[in-house]
Structure 1
Amino acid sequence: MKTYIYSTLLWSATLFSSCSSDDKTSVQNTDSPILVQLSKSSTNSSGASATVSGKLVARNSVNVSTKMMGYITSMKAEVGQNVTAGQALVHINSTDIQAKGGQANAQILQAQANFNSAKKDYERFQNLYKNQSASQKELDDMRARYEIALAGLQAAQQMKNEVNSQYKYTNITAPISGTITAKFAEQGDMASPGSPLLTIESSGALQAQVLVSEENITLIHQGMQVLVTLKSINKTISGMVSEISKSAANTGGQYLVKINIAASRDLLPGMFVNVQFPFKNSGKKNQDFQEMIIIPKSALVEKGQLTGVYVVSSQNTAVLRWIKIGKILGDQAEVISGLNSKEPYIVSANGKLYNGAKIQIK
């Protein structure tokens, strides 16, 4: 019995000693500094910049419509379908046009008969007048009748031409080659003059369209190189300003700017973009712009809806600083507030950082 009690006490003492050793080791690991690497936030060395949002659009976009009212009897078009210029897409009931065409043909026959009769009478009276068998007045009357008949025939022919021109609006073809991006009517619907039926956008050539404030528009010029970021596909490409609107009357006080970009299979019309306009530093402080502070996204710490970055305190410890993030530019992020442009921050660490953790700079 005593032997059992002594064995139990010996096992307990050994376990307690082991636990105490582990605790001491843990405290020692906690107190040891974490090796970290620092970096300073970069700024736009060329001066200030402005970033605005917009979307991609096709350079050539056409709304297909008709000048005739009638029921759509055939619709050979679907969204996403590729079409070529001249391809038949929509047919509209042409019964009314056919009736007008029949009337025009009848009027031409009638006018032609009147013209032929007037022409023969006029030629006959010319011979009679030469033989002094008809007076000048009779000849003038025949000439007037002939000219009236000729005018009537020409008017009937022009009416026929008008009817023929209306036929092409009942058989609608693709005006350009491209992709159908929108469809506003279906077979059996009533087509109205001027109302769009389809939208066709040419493939390949795209533009980024953005609205720029009046404070920035004077610093933008044609041919200016800009950065276009597409957050949906995490891609940043270069672009060039091609058009600048000189009026903001119809755009709510902002100016429309168009940027040409290179064609790519990844880019589709309608994608949202962020366009960064760089402004060269003129040597004077511009109150409208602030230097853009940029840090790598890998240095950010996200907790819920908060975003922060670890900085170094005067006691050489890590401190989590909450910051406000602006635009995301590829693998970098713009810092709006919370971090000074000359203040170092922790980029990487050999251990898990937390508030108050002792650090050692590499």
Structure 2
Amino acid sequence: MKKFLWISGLLILGLIIGFILINSSGKYEKMYDENTTPKATKLDKINEKSESTGDIKKIPVKIKIIEATQFTAKLKTVGTTFAKDDYILSAKMNGEITYLNADIGTVVKKNDVLAKIDPEMAEANYNQAAANYNLAQKTYSRQKILAEKKLVSTQQLDGAEAQYQIAKAALSLAKINLNNSKVLSPIDGVIAEKFVNLHTFSGIGTPVARVVNIKKIQMEVGVSEQNIVLIKKGNKAFIKISSYPGEVFQGYIVNMGLQADKDNKSFPVTIEFDNIDGKIKGGMIADISILLNTYSEAIVVSFHLLQQTTGGYYLYIVENDKAVRRDVVVANIQDDVARISDGLAVGDHLVIEGHKYINDQVTVTIEK
């Protein structure tokens, strides 16, 4: 009896295991069918339909008839603003700074005195030199009159002339020293930096103040060898600064370098624009678009239509219900469009949809 029960248990266990294996196999096959069978592409569906009907395969495409349009070529770059007129003024003599009018933000006029360095000594030396000069000049004038009357010797006249020339040179030197005792503003502008304090000692060459005029702003950008030949002095440039969203400032190319930078091989180009209200400050980052040229009858296509090989770019057009590959020359690329200088003509039927599914000389059908 026990042997019978033991055999019955084994049979039941075997049936259960077999049932589980059969169900698992079915699920696996279903999963394989769902996950590994590739989905049919648009081109596969076209091929299946053509094979079932026996018709010639026609790939549907959409086209656009090429028309000439105006295109303005631009060079986009980034630059940093700085004042056109920017001067760091330094002391030209040794001494104590006894007068200082150079607080940051102070508005100054051309030739305003910003600092004085021991002016009393310079003024005293100048006054003495001026007195000596006046005396020597009068003495020389009298000696010339007396020499004409033969009342003084030639030697006496020469001595008076020499004293006059010495006094004249001394006065010129004293005048230079007097001028050097003053630090003058070379422009109308604003004090941007102050480097010294009142009653401190300054030596020759010590920076005293920095004066800028921000009524005109400049930027210097680097331009590649390929683009520098397209730029001319006077070309317009449009400037956008993030601090003033929605505003566009118009400037011009005012200078172009003749020598490329030895490190990055770019050519320096200077752009200038008016800043009458002074809202633009030095050191702001600007997005710049330099106008290179305007083409009145250009062929322009969307950049995403271009297909690229190692040899360049190509597009597809439709001729006699067939796709025809056209190798093209791309002259300019900006934003999402490209100007084609060779390879397309006005009136060509450019494929604008379906170009990813066709090859050269395949039969196509044009969809509306």
TM range, normalised to the smaller chain? 0.5 to 0.7
Alignment of 1:319-358 (within 5 A): none
Q: 1:97 aligns with which of 122, 126, 143?
A: 122
Of stretches 108-117 and 68-77 in structure 1, the one that deviates more from structure 2 is 108-117
Alignment of 1:92-131 (within 5 A): 92-94=117-119, 96-98=121-123, 100-101=125-126, 104=129, 108=133, 122=147, 126=150
Q: Does 1:229 align with 2:273?
A: no
Question: Structure 1 residues 240 and 115, CA, compared in 2 at 3 Å: closer, same or farther?
Answer: closer
Q: CA offset at residue 155 of structure 1?
A: 1.4
Q: 1:255 aligns with which of 267, 274, 279?
A: 267
Q: CA offset at residue 212 of structure 1?
A: 2.1
Q: Deviations over 1:114-166 (max 9, x none)?
A: 85996698578x25xxxxxxxxxxx8xx2033112212222113212320232
Q: 1:216 aligns with which of 215, 227, 242?
A: 227
Q: CA offset at residue 273 of structure 1?
A: 0.9
Q: Deviations over 1:313-341 (max 9, x none)?
A: xxxxxxxxxxxxxxxxxxxxxxxxxxxxx
Structure possessing the higher radius of gyration over alpha carbons: 2
1:165 equivalent in structure 2: 176
- The code of the aligned residue for 1:292 comes to D
Q: CA offset at residue 94 of structure 1?
A: 3.1
Partners of 1:119 and 1:238 in 2: how far apart? 67
Please give the root-mean-square deviation of Cα atoms over the aligned residues, in Å: 3.7
Of stretches 257-266 and 150-159 in structure 1, the one that deviates more from structure 2 is 257-266
Q: Does 1:186 align with 2:197?
A: yes
Asked if 2 retains the 8 angstrom alpha-carbon contact of 1:205 and 1:262, the reply is yes
- The code of the aligned residue for 2:96 comes to Y
- The code of the aligned residue for 2:329 comes to K
3-state SS, counterpart of residue 63 of structure 1: strand
- The code of the aligned residue for 2:290 comes to F
Q: 1:246 aligns with which of 258, 264, 267?
A: 258
1:52 equivalent in structure 2: 77
Asked if 1 retains the 8 angstrom alpha-carbon contact of 2:223 and 2:268, the reply is yes
Identity in percent: 22
Give the paired residue count: 238
Question: Structure 1 residues 239 and 160, CA, compared in 2 at 3 Å: closer, same or farther?
Answer: closer
2:99 equivalent in structure 1: 74
Partners of 2:147 and 2:278 in 1: how far apart? 73
Q: CA offset at residue 265 of structure 1?
A: 4.5
Q: Does 1:83 align with 2:108?
A: yes
Q: CA offset at residue 230 of structure 1?
A: 0.8
TM-score normalised to the size of structure 1? 0.54
Q: Does 1:285 align with 2:332?
A: no
Partners of 2:157 and 2:268 in 1: how far apart? 61
Q: Does 1:63 align with 2:88?
A: yes
Of stretches 80-89 and 259-268 in structure 1, the one that deviates more from structure 2 is 259-268
The unaligned stretches of length 5 or more in structure 2 are 1-68, 300-327, 338-351, 354-368
Question: Structure 1 residues 192 and 257, CA, compared in 2 at 3 Å: closer, same or farther?
Answer: farther
Question: Structure 1 residues 98 and 205, CA, compared in 2 at 3 Å: closer, same or farther?
Answer: closer
Q: CA offset at residue 107 of structure 1?
A: 5.6
Asked if 1 retains the 8 angstrom alpha-carbon contact of 2:119 and 2:182, the reply is no
Asked if 2 retains the 8 angstrom alpha-carbon contact of 1:75 and 1:90, the reply is yes
Q: CA offset at residue 100 of structure 1?
A: 4.0
Q: CA offset at residue 167 of structure 1?
A: 0.9
Asked if 2 retains the 8 angstrom alpha-carbon contact of 1:64 and 1:196, the reply is yes
3-state SS, counterpart of residue 223 of structure 1: coil
The unaligned stretches of length 5 or more in structure 1 are 1-43, 128-138, 295-341, 344-362
TM-score normalised to the size of structure 2? 0.53
Partners of 1:253 and 1:246 in 2: how far apart? 12
Partners of 2:86 and 2:201 in 1: how far apart? 24
Q: CA offset at residue 279 of structure 1?
A: 4.1
Q: Does 1:144 align with 2:155?
A: yes
Partners of 2:240 and 2:259 in 1: how far apart? 26
2:359 equivalent in structure 1: none
Partners of 2:208 and 2:188 in 1: how far apart? 16
Asked if 2 retains the 8 angstrom alpha-carbon contact of 1:208 and 1:261, the reply is no
- The code of the aligned residue for 2:242 comes to K
3-state SS, counterpart of residue 269 of structure 1: coil
Q: CA offset at residue 72 of structure 1?
A: 1.4
- Greater strand share, 1 or 2? 2
3-state SS, counterpart of residue 216 of structure 1: helix
